[in-house]
Amino acid sequence: MRKPFVAGNWKMNKSLSEAAELAKGVADATAGLNGVEVVIAPVSLCLASVIDAVGSTHVGVSAQNMHWAEQGAYTGELSPTMLKEAGCGYVILGHSERRELFGEGDEFIHRKLRSALNHGLVPILCIGETLEEREAGKTQQKVDFQIRAALSGIAADDVADIVIAYEPIWAIGTGRTASPQQAQEVHGAIRELLTTMYDGSIASRCRILYGGSVKPANIDDLISQPDIDGALVGGASLKVDSFAAIAKACA
């Protein structure tokens, strides 16, 4: 049985005080939900205050990105050891905004993923196709390529603990969601790919989230699909009520 997983990607939103307040609100509103892993990802400036705000509750905290090196001349970056020391348990890697707006390539994402695993951080690996790729019938090709590149040489046991987020780029922040059937088709194919690359038991342990305009109104249909194990939520994670409603639907 895979425990459902819901992560809120706050992107570049919320000030220090707003972030701590939202984090506390999420912890209170999702208290007692045992059937779902709840994670929030504030901007790096707010990581320490959010970790403090959620304290020893069930809510995990994720970074939105990191460098693979432990330290060095990498202006503007954060290292895995810094994230661990701060109390982060997770890190989002390869979000389409990092890939498309900041030019992060598959090799960089692979190095980051390997480093996150080596430092005991759970990677939330994002993959997904553009609208042009979907319309050209290249969705699976793109997703397969991104997964193979990110997981190249990663041991099977480590792969089982990685969280994969399938996020069609055309559905992120657009209000346009993949239909539950479209999402299930890709999620099912991802699990088959993991079975081919590793084996059925690894594939059946790995959680695969859907991301792209997830809201309280569409989560029920998405989470009822057999290979959708939760959601990576952007816009709807910025309000306690909508994020908590999504977490409850997944629990």
* CA dist 6 → 106, 119, 212, 246 (Å): 24, 22, 13, 8
Interhelix angle for 240-250 vs 16-29, to 10°? 40
- 232 lies in the site for ligand PEP, by CB under 6 A: yes
Which of these is catalytic: 67, 95, 110, 187? 95
Q: Is 217 near ligand PEP (CB under 6 A)?
A: no
The answer to whether 242 contacts ligand PEP (rule: CB under 6 A) is no
178 CA to centre of own chain = 17
Single out the residue of 37, 212, 227, 243 in contact with ligand PEP (rule: CB under 6 A): 212
Nearer to ligand PEP, 60 or 235 (CB): 235
Question: Is 42 one of the binding residues for ligand PEP (CB under 6 A)?
Answer: no
Choose the stretch contacting ligand PEP; rule: CB under 6 A; options: 29-37, 154-162, 216-224, 230-238.
Answer: 230-238
Question: Is 167 an active-site residue?
Answer: yes
Locus of tokens 């959601």: 231
Site stretch for ligand PEP (CB under 6 A), options 29-37, 39-47, 185-193, 231-239? 231-239
Which residue has the CB atom at the shortest distance from ligand PEP?
234
How many chain residues interact with ligand PEP (CB under 6 A)? Answer: 13
Beta strands in the chain (DSSP E): 5-9, 37-41, 60-63, 90-93, 122-127, 163-166, 207-211, 230-233
Helix or strand (DSSP H, E) at 208: strand 207-211
Shortest distance in whole angstroms from residue 7 CB to ligand PEP: 8
CA 95 – CA 164 distance, rounded (Å): 11
**5, 6, 8, 9: which one binds ligand PEP (CB under 6 A):** 9
Of residues 126 and 203, the one with the C-beta less far from ligand PEP: 126
Q: Which amino acid is present at 184? A: Q
Shortest distance, position 232 Cβ to ligand PEP, whole Å: 5
How far is Cα 130 from Cα 218, in angstroms, rounded to an integer? Answer: 21
Separation between Cα atoms, residue 60 and residue 91, nearest integer Å: 11
Q: Candidates 62-70, 117-125, 131-139, 233-241: pick the segment binding ligand PEP (CB under 6 A).
A: 233-241
Question: Angle 237-219-60 (CA atoms, 0-180°, nearest 5)?
Answer: 40
| 183, 225 Cβ separation under 8 angstroms | yes
Give the separation between CA 166 and CA 103, rounded to whole angstroms: 19
- Please, are residues 218 and 236 in contact by the beta-carbon 8 Å criterion? no
Site residues (CB under 6 A) for ligand PEP, limited to 153-192: 167, 172-173
Q: Which is nearer to ligand PEP, 120 or 173 (CB)?
A: 173
Question: Would you please indicate which residues are annotated as catalytic (active-site) residues?
Answer: 95, 167
In the complex, the residues that contact ligand PEP under the rule CB under 6 A are: 9, 167, 172-173, 211-214, 232-236
